[in-house]
Every structure is written in C-alpha cells, then in structure tokens.
Homo-oligomer: A and B are copies of this chain.
Amino acid sequence: MLLQTNSTATRYAAAATEYVAVDGISYAHRRVGKSTDLPLICLQHFTGTLDNWDPQVIDGLARERQVITIDNAGIGNSGGETPDNVQDMAKTAVSIITALGITKCDLLGFSLGGFIAQTIAITHPQLFRKILLIGTAPQGTLALHSFPELVGRAFSKPPAEGYLYLFATSSEKSREKIKAAQARFMERENDRDKQTSMPAIQAQIKALTRWGTDPVTLNLGSITHPVLIVQGSSDEMMNSASSVELFKQIPNAILTFYPDSSHGSFFQYPEMFVDEANSFLDKFM
C-alpha cells in the first residue's frame, strides 16, 4: 500500500505518519481528509496508538473535514515520557495542536483521551469549537478506583481476547462487531505505530486511576461548547452511568447510548456513529 501525505490522504489506512517537534520532542500524528478551517483532533484511549482508531470511523468523519490523530508523549512513535497524570497529558496535547499551526479545532476524546478533552476544554476553551466525549467519565468516577484490577484481568488473557473483554460485551453479536473493528485496525500494512511500552502503560494506569481517586478540580458546568457524549450500554471500565453524570453536568450536551455494547461502542456501530457525529459537527449549535 502506497502511503499518502496529508495533502492527498483520503483513507486513514493509507495516511503517512507525520511528525511535529515540540521542545525537541517529536510527536507522531496522521491526517486524513481535505484541509479545512476546523480540523477534528482525536485523542486516544489507554494503550491505544494511531493504529487503534477504526479506519471506518475516521474515514467517515473525514468525508467532511480533516481529521488528525495524535500520539501523546511516550505513546506509539511519539517521543518523550508518558506522564502519570492527565493534567500533563493535556498540556502536551495543547502543545502538539498549537505546533501543528491550529488555532481552532473540534476535539474527539476517547476514554483517557476524553479525560484530556474535558481538561483542555476548560483550560483552553478558545482553542475548541465542539467536543465529542466517547466512552469516558468525569473526575471522581468510582469505577476507576479499581482500574488496575480490571486491567489485570484483561492483561491475563491473550491480547485480542483482552481487547474483546474490555471493548465488547459478552454477547456474540457485540464480540463479532468488535472483532470486525479489530480486523479493520489491521488494514494498514506499512508504517505502523510501535506498540505502547510497559512503562507508558504503567504511567497511564496511574493517570486513569488518579482520575477516579484524586480530588475533583474541573467544573464541567463551565464548558459552554456543544458536546456530544457517546457510550455503550455496558462499559465496565468507565461505568456507563458516568456518561449520564457528564450529560447532567455539561450544559449543552447531547447524550447517546448504544445497545449491547461496552467500551468500544462507536467502533461497534461505526455507520450510526459517523452519521451522528457528522450531524453534530455540521448542524448542532
């Protein structure tokens, strides 16, 4: 497969990995879709790299805008060290967005990426127009207190099965749809990201757990952006009910739950999600 530079990439699986330097550290990212005034920046989940975005979802979003996925510090092909707290991850995300020359964008945060998105929506509100929070939770969520134990159970399984354990429900239908997403992750043959290292994973586990156990510092009621919250019916990691809490606290938010789905809700229903996200990005005020 021929890799395409940012000016020509129409398929995420064929978009070249590019790099931008901040303070001497090189950060990996990929762009797909025509350059637009308001690109959509995507912030990834625990252990995930540029290769863990569903290309069907990214390509669907990129039909109408430029989509940019970024690896945070110490993840995939990005340099630097992964911090053990969301606040420092948030600072890095803002630095990368700024280094890309972006002054205004939309933001999609998935899981841990959603913690970062909540943080920078409040610390840098002027940088964002609209925000999508997928499979995520507010600070203080009780389910995250036992995040290390959940990860321990997932990591005790073979990797593909561990992913299904967290991202699918136990139903055959949900598992099959998430397996299909896993197959889509593999459409990209060349220029793949490095797997996330064990020290980075350990730092992320600490950051995720602290999101649940540290004192609540963010006032989600101060987020004035339009927000789309999407969650699966049965996400054990975040506790699906956490998304109702996000909805209640963020003044201008839409909330959608998908049926029979866990942490991988939007990869399980890629067509529905792309339609809803594009409608939200294009029309919701």
**A256→B259 contact, CB < 8 A:** no
* A252-B260, A254-B259, A255-B256 known; A247+B233 contact, CB < 8 A: yes
**A275→B275 contact, CB < 8 A:** yes
Within the complex, what minimum Cβ distance (angstroms) separates A15 from chain B? Answer: 26
Within the complex, what minimum Cβ distance (angstroms) separates A269 from chain B? Answer: 8
Q: A276 to B258, alpha carbons, bound, how many Å? A: 13
* A244-B244, A279-B276, A283-B271 known; A257+B258 contact, CB < 8 A: no
- Asked if A280 is at the interface (CB within 8 A of a chain B CB), the reply is yes
Interface majority SS (helix, strand, loop, mixed), chain A: mixed
Query: Which residues of the partner chain B approach A258 to less than 8 Å between Cβ atoms?
Result: 254
**From B253, B275, B276, contact of A259 by CB (8 A):** B253
**From B251, B255, B259, B272, contact of A260 by CB (8 A):** B251
Query: Which residues of the partner chain B approach A260 to less than 8 Å between Cβ atoms?
Result: 251-252
- Asked if A155 is at the interface (CB within 8 A of a chain B CB), the reply is no
**From B247, B275, B283, contact of A283 by CB (8 A):** B275
Q: A275 to B282, alpha carbons, bound, how many Å? A: 11
Q: What are some 28 contacts across the A-B interface (CB < 8 A)?
A: A244-B244, A247-B257, A247-B259, A251-B259, A251-B260, A252-B260, A253-B259, A254-B256, A254-B257, A254-B258, A254-B259, A255-B255, A255-B256, A255-B257, A256-B256, A256-B257, A269-B284, A271-B279, A272-B279, A272-B280, A272-B283, A272-B284, A275-B275, A275-B276, A275-B279, A275-B283, A276-B276, A279-B279
Query: Which residues of the partner chain B approach A276 to less than 8 Å between Cβ atoms?
Result: 275-276, 279
Name the interface residues of A214-260: CB closer than 8 Å to any CB of B. 233, 244, 247, 251-260
When all copies of this chain in the complex are counted, the total is 2
Q: A253 to B244, alpha carbons, bound, how many Å? A: 16
The 10 lowest CB-CB distance pairs between A and B, nearest first, are A275-B279, A255-B257, A256-B256, A271-B283, A252-B259, A253-B259, A272-B284, A272-B279, A254-B258, A247-B257
Per-residue interface assignment for chain A, residues 12 to 29, with 1 indicating a CB less than 8 Å from any chain B CB and 0 otherwise: 000000000000000000
Query: Which residues of the partner chain B approach A280 to less than 8 Å between Cβ atoms?
Result: 272
Chain B residue nearest in CB terms to A275: B279
Q: A109 to B77, alpha carbons, bound, how many Å? A: 51
Chain B residue nearest in CB terms to A271: B283
Query: Which residues of the partner chain B approach A272 to less than 8 Å between Cβ atoms?
Result: 254, 279-280, 283-284
Question: 17 other contacts beyond A256-B257, A275-B283, A276-B276, with CB at 8 A cut-off?
Answer: A233-B247, A247-B259, A252-B260, A253-B259, A254-B258, A255-B256, A255-B257, A256-B256, A269-B284, A271-B279, A271-B283, A272-B280, A275-B275, A275-B276, A275-B279, A276-B279, A279-B279
